[in-house]
Structure 1
């Protein structure tokens, strides 16, 4: 494995950051993960449910699918282990690899290790490292030593997420049930579960469990893979090894250039030997150099030639004749040109800058140093946080003041009148509200619409609506050819009204029940126009006597 080719930045992370890294990898390779999972999961789901239905154990199909979850964890781990190296596999490549990849250390997770809460952390150690069976136990203990808590918490959280998704899917079904039928629907659902659950309900429950596991499972495996990478980085210093490998690569690329520099700059090399002039030529060049530089005592220089090091002034190869290969070189003109070039002010542009600065006497300087040192110590002490308890106490005092102000505002009606001098006065006792009880008539009059209008005009709207509701129930029972039990609820009446053959009759009765419920239980009465319209519609539709 060439860790320098990793597509992620490796460093020592906390357990939470490592799990976030794993979920980020899952989001990056989402298509490569979920495509093979669904292609393998859909046929497997159909096969398991068909076998469970054939064996008359349809309710246990979700348990078998839950037991096979490590198979799909294996797919996610295969994609992530290649994706971190920049080689994301295709869907067919991932499915083909499941036949032979990681088989030696995998089957235990479908057996005795299935209930291990550390499966997502230890599965990469078995499938990716390829250790011998005798060393796998020690390797798993080393990896799980400092990541046990995070792996356990990850398993618990993902399990809770799956249960929440399943419960949310079941609750979403009841969101489409009308409110007035919700309680009866809950009761019917509970009775269906307790007595004999139909096959379609069990299939829907199995599908909800499988969809929740398919959604949360890759994130669970990815977070565990992030913990695994972090443990390998901590134990084996992968980040340091990657830095050294990249440094070695850069040095290998620069090795030819370094070798060339060493060859060219090595003292005593061949180039320096080739540049050395013969003895005779050197002596002649030295004499000419002395003539050019105006030295009178050439014999002394020759005597000390072996002791004085060569430089640009006494190097025999640095004469104009040797350089220009011409004995008649105009050295005087050359020297004048060089002198003029050195005298040019542009060659050494310098200027003198003067600043005036106030000088402090010794006493002021020492005082200023003391103030600077005191301010620096204060900043360091504030940075270290010794004032934190004082700040907490100050915040608590301000919070107490805020609570007292809120209490004073809330209790102001109690103590404010005492400050005004009106504490002895008592408020007048409110009159008792007498409300007429709603009583459904036992016998419906022959003209219920006219009697209801009379009650409405007398200021008894609830009694008028009760009369219309009672008459509508009798008409519904007659047309649906059903006998309602005494004390039947509105919901029972609505279910019985579905047997009326005319859709207009069913809609009108449902409208009457809704108006009656709003008036009886919510205290919301219709307007006079709405009441007259409803009474006239009931009179015409149910053919009451006027």
Structure 2
């Protein structure tokens, strides 16, 4: 690993600083991430929508798109792993290298590890390092360490961002609807949400894809930042870089002195002797493909048994699998606890528990019987709450508006005649008109057209107590009949008519 080529400053960071570092890397290399992301995810979305449409439910495409997130996450992970060393890949290179290798590890991330809360933190261990499965498990445990909780919180946070973005995109449609049409549009929207037509399901899947495409690379970047921070803490990358820089400075400063010293030493050596003509036996070199380090370093490779032993000791160390032995004193003979109940009390408690259980079952059965017996009362209400077929409203009663006819000479007789003819509301309307006219004459007030009952009652406060009470009785019965469709009975009507006739002088 070329640590000197890193484009980020390595230092021990807090976990949330590491998350911010990862999101910053995503912003810096946004073009290199989102171009291949769209080139891969859009065709997959179109294919899944077509399959869902063939089944009659295009919205089914959202489930496999969500489940395949770990596979899509390899795109931003590949870009970030190269870009952090100063090699930003193009979209062709990303498409060719992002899905190369790591098939066995991806099988786990698409099955039993799919719901892992630390997926973004652990995927670099399997995808980028490519260790054998046994070592990868130890590496995952070591890398997760104290960062596991932060990785889980980061997942929860980015899920909230994704949900808020998808919901905001859906609600933003209402911003383009004029205010005058919002109220009339609400029933149409609710009906479409209940019926879920195909075009609405496709729109929902598209909005979910947009929200995922915006948020998911940042989530992968946050996990990659945590991964870099954990590698720095475990392996001391920042210290190694500092030593490499110090070595480079020392080599530059001492190059001249080393050259002079070498020239002096070589000048005192004797002339070289004739080389032996016999050829030394050739050593058998192992195949390069069988040794990764030999392939990488070539002639500079040096077999170091101590280093290999140190690696084996590191993997066998308890720091990868921390355990602690705790000693506890226990008596040789387990003493009987003082709070043990006598056999009689034990039997009583069991009896009480059985009785309570029986009573609870009786209560449940009684509730079921009552619910079945009263189903005619609550079942229609429950069906209406569940969204059954709406009951059509009663036809509106329409009546032509005619000009007010002059009041008859005998108000009481005319009102009784209308009530006898089955026109109770018209009878009360006649009495109310006559009472308002009499009140206006008695108080000397001029009431404007369209005067409400409340305004008439306020104007009637100038009447004496008797006429004021009679006028209030007339207004109350008229309101019950006009607005609540509750006409008064015959006795109440006659009592009101007698009081009003006596108060306003309708009797001859």
Normalised TM-score (structure 1): 0.48
CA RMSD of aligned residues (A): 2.8
- CA drift of 1:106 comes to 2.1
1:392-471 correspondence runs (5 A): 442-444=399-401
- CA drift of 1:4 comes to 1.6
What per-residue deviation string (whole Å, max 9, x for no partner) do you get for residues 491-518 of structure 1? Answer: xxxxxxxxxxxxxxxxxxxxxxxxxxxx
Q: Distance in 2 between matches of 1:213 and 1:160?
A: 11
The equivalent of 1:240 in structure 2 is: 239
- CA drift of 1:460 comes to 6.0
- CA drift of 1:442 comes to 4.7
Q: Distance in 1 between matches of 2:86 and 2:45?
A: 32
Q: Distance in 2 between matches of 1:462 and 1:140?
A: 82
Residue aligned with 1:222, SS: helix
- CA drift of 1:181 comes to 3.5
What per-residue deviation string (whole Å, max 9, x for no partner) do you get for residues 32-82 of structure 1? Answer: 000100111111111110011112332211111111111221000000000
Q: Distance in 1 between matches of 2:91 and 2:170?
A: 32
Q: Distance in 2 between matches of 1:236 and 1:263?
A: 37
Q: Distance in 1 between matches of 2:115 and 2:8?
A: 31
Q: Distance in 2 between matches of 1:38 and 1:136?
A: 31
- CA drift of 1:98 comes to 3.1
The equivalent of 1:225 in structure 2 is: 224
- CA drift of 1:130 comes to 1.3
- CA drift of 1:99 comes to 4.2
> Which segment is superposed worse, 61-70 or 91-100?
91-100
The equivalent of 2:2 in structure 1 is: 2
1:110-509 correspondence runs (5 A): 110-194=110-194, 196-260=195-259, 442-444=399-401
What per-residue deviation string (whole Å, max 9, x for no partner) do you get for residues 123-170 of structure 1? Answer: 001111111011111111111111011101100010011110111111
- 2:93 is equivalent to residue 93 of structure 1: yes
The gaps in structure 2 that reach 5 residues or longer are 269-396, 404-446, 453-482, 484-508
- C-alpha contact 2:57 2:201 (8 A) present in aligned 1: no
What per-residue deviation string (whole Å, max 9, x for no partner) do you get for residues 208-260 of structure 1? Answer: 00000000011000011000000000011000011112222333334421314
What per-residue deviation string (whole Å, max 9, x for no partner) do you get for residues 16-43 of structure 1? Answer: 1101110110011000000100111111
The equivalent of 1:49 in structure 2 is: 49
Q: Distance in 1 between matches of 2:398 and 2:449?
A: 14
Q: Distance in 2 between matches of 1:73 and 1:119?
A: 10
Normalised TM-score (structure 2): 0.52
Residue aligned with 2:103, SS: coil
- 2:65 is equivalent to residue 65 of structure 1: yes
Q: Distance in 2 between matches of 1:201 and 1:181?
A: 20
Q: 1:460 to 1:248 in 2, by over 3 A?
A: farther
The equivalent of 2:274 in structure 1 is: none
- C-alpha contact 2:57 2:198 (8 A) present in aligned 1: no
Residue aligned with 1:145, SS: helix
Q: Distance in 1 between matches of 2:449 and 2:24?
A: 68
The equivalent of 1:14 in structure 2 is: 14
Q: Distance in 2 between matches of 1:113 and 1:80?
A: 22
Residue aligned with 1:8, SS: coil
Q: Distance in 1 between matches of 2:52 and 2:137?
A: 36
- C-alpha contact 2:19 2:221 (8 A) present in aligned 1: yes
Q: Distance in 1 between matches of 2:132 and 2:257?
A: 45
- CA drift of 1:177 comes to 2.7
The gaps in structure 1 that reach 5 residues or longer are 271-439, 447-457, 464-486, 488-546
- CA drift of 1:118 comes to 0.6
Q: Distance in 2 between matches of 1:61 and 1:10?
A: 41
Q: 1:183 to 1:251 in 2, by over 3 A?
A: same
- C-alpha contact 2:105 2:127 (8 A) present in aligned 1: yes
Q: Distance in 2 between matches of 1:69 and 1:462?
A: 69
> Which segment is superposed worse, 250-259 or 142-151?
250-259
- CA drift of 1:189 comes to 2.2
Q: Distance in 2 between matches of 1:460 and 1:213?
A: 64
- C-alpha contact 2:67 2:110 (8 A) present in aligned 1: yes
Q: Distance in 2 between matches of 1:462 and 1:188?
A: 39
Q: Distance in 2 between matches of 1:441 and 1:104?
A: 77
Q: Distance in 1 between matches of 2:99 and 2:120?
A: 21
Residue aligned with 1:111, SS: coil
The equivalent of 1:83 in structure 2 is: 83
Q: 1:46 to 1:461 in 2, by over 3 A?
A: farther
- CA drift of 1:90 comes to 0.3
The equivalent of 2:27 in structure 1 is: 27
Q: 1:461 to 1:200 in 2, by over 3 A?
A: farther
Q: Distance in 2 between matches of 1:165 and 1:236?
A: 38
